[in-house]
Amino acid sequence: MSEILSSSIARKVAMALSALFLIIFLLIHLAVNLTSLFSADVFNQASHFMGTNPLIQFAMQPILIFGVVFHFVMGFVLELKNKKSRNVKYVNYNGAANASWMSRNMAISGGVILIFIVIHFLDFWIPELNTKYVLGDMSGMHGGEFRYFEELQHKFMSPVKVGVYVIAFILLALHLAHGFQSAFQSMGFNNKYTKFVKNLGTIYSIVIPLGFIIIALYHYFIQINH
């Protein structure tokens, strides 16, 4: 870890790898949650599999948590290093003239997203761990039926909570718009693939957050109309 923190190139590569890992996770997470728009049964089955599969629970889940923590810690380390470097090398550094708003405020958007992730964990992940490992209920059932779809809808009953989710995913879109391309650039894809990566990043940064926003709004409006 000390070697990673001490080398500028190593820090950027480590940051990029953690970003790519989280990019893949977001895609999988969205794919599972999108099933809730079409079939409660499919969503329940997918959620039960994800929530009880030993490989996911005891291997992938700890890796995910480590990846999230590592990504944000490394992001703040890089931001501090960059600010220190700019203060030394550029007395009259004009950030707005040299970089986009997104690239200059990755730490801010990242910090807000981190707060949202913590809230999300407290809202979904911690109660799930309590149900499975404290109460000892691994069945995923409630009243003879899977509880996952019902619990998902319950989370989106409050307009305040839905509003927080929408704002968080808008910030995620801005964060991804720069972070996606930056991650691939750090891995060396800054040649003939630059245009393709940039276009792919733009599509990803719009489609993924929009998908989560649609899910939150769908479950909110379907409940207030019933």
The structural domains of the chain, ordered by start, are 2-224 (1.20.1300)
Percentage of residues of the chain with pLDDT beyond 90: 29
Buried b vs exposed e over 19-28: b needs ≥16 C-beta within 10 Å? Answer: bbbbbeebee
pTM: 0.83
CA distance 209 to 27: 10
Token pair, residue 30, equals 């969205």
Token pair, residue 5, equals 């923190």
- What confidence tier does 214 reach under pLDDT thresholds 50, 70, 90? very high
Average pLDDT, the chain: 82
Would you say how long the chain is, in residues? Answer: 226
Residue range 6-24, pLDDT digits in tens: 567 777 788 888 888 889 9
- For residues 182-207, average pLDDT: 81
- C-alpha torsion 69→72→77→83, nearest 10: -170
104 or 39, which is more confident: 39
Least confident of 60-64, 156-160, 190-194: 190-194
Position 81 scores a pLDDT of 76
CA 109 to chain centre: 12
